[in-house]
Amino acid sequence: MDFRDRYVVVTGGAGALGGAVVGALLEAGAVCHVPCRTQDEAQRFSYRGHAGVKVVAPIELSDEAAVARLYQSVPKLWASIHVAGGFAAAAIEETGKAELMRQIETNLVSAYLCCRAAVQAIGGGGGAGGRIVNVAARPALEWRTGAGMTAYTASKAAVAALSAALAEEVAKRGILVNAVAPSIMDTPANRAAMPKADHSMWPKVEEVAATIVFLASPENGVTRGGIVPVYGRA
């Protein structure tokens, strides 16, 4: 896949999956703009010194004005990939409005605002089109698997619906919108949280990243509106 001279925003790029996405994009020749919520997060980002990376920090992705400024700073935006999000697991009687709204802000609102700004930026690029990829989750497709994490499930299901609706809205402008829905991924944090699980069944972040990068690539000329399961053998 050829991303030479193409500018891509990757939210959540300092995380495990986001870092794998950024690494794959850099190998393909992309220039990556990576917003980080804090300066500490930016300092931990393994690609922060790479010539093909521009780190923006601090930035809150649920802040409409801040998101608009981020996208206005990107020349000739080709793709926007939204990995940033949050997770919370608890029974509904232990999950009040504050945590529900936190999940909605972190997962849905951030994706919505970035999608909106990306459509505006890509649309101003002379009709060349572009790509948007969101990250939902397995419970966004299989709601019953979201038992015990209802706030998270609801917010990610909304990301899936947003992706499908937006794909239809902007298709004629050459903007292809898709999402991936990972199962539990093989990360150090997940291994630490579930030490007795069969980690070999979990998809690797590099494998999930490969699907994301394809959907964001010029080589993807027809796929839109997909919520792609990336479960591995899990």
pLDDT tens-digit map of 40-52: 999 999 999 999 9
Q: For residues 111-115, give the mean pLDDT.
A: 98
Report the alpha-carbon distance of residue 182 to residue 95 in Å, rounded.
Answer: 23
The pTM for the full model equals 0.96
Provide the CA 37 distance to its chain's centre, in angstroms: 14
Confidence at 15, pLDDT banded by 50, 70, 90: very high
Q: For residues 107-121, give the mean pLDDT.
A: 98
Domain ranges for the chain, please list them. 7-230
Q: Specify the residue for token string 């801040």.
A: 66
Share the mean pLDDT of the chain. Answer: 95
Confidence at 125, pLDDT banded by 50, 70, 90: low
Q: What is the pLDDT of residue 186?
A: 84
Report the alpha-carbon distance of residue 229 to residue 179 in Å, rounded.
Answer: 9
Residue 120 pLDDT > 80? yes
Report the alpha-carbon distance of residue 217 to residue 165 in Å, rounded.
Answer: 20
Contacts of 55 (CB under 8 A, 6+ apart): 34, 35, 36, 42, 45, 48
What is the per-residue pLDDT across 19-41, written as a single tens digit (0 to 9) for each? 999 999 999 999 999 999 999 99
Q: What is the pLDDT of residue 224?
A: 98
Q: Residue 44's CB: how many other CB atoms inside 10 A?
A: 13
Confidence at 17, pLDDT banded by 50, 70, 90: very high
Report the alpha-carbon distance of residue 66 to residue 70 in Å, rounded.
Answer: 6
Fold of 7-230: Rossmann fold (3.40.50)
Report the alpha-carbon distance of residue 42 to residue 36 in Å, rounded.
Answer: 6
Confidence at 234, pLDDT banded by 50, 70, 90: confident
Confidence at 123, pLDDT banded by 50, 70, 90: confident
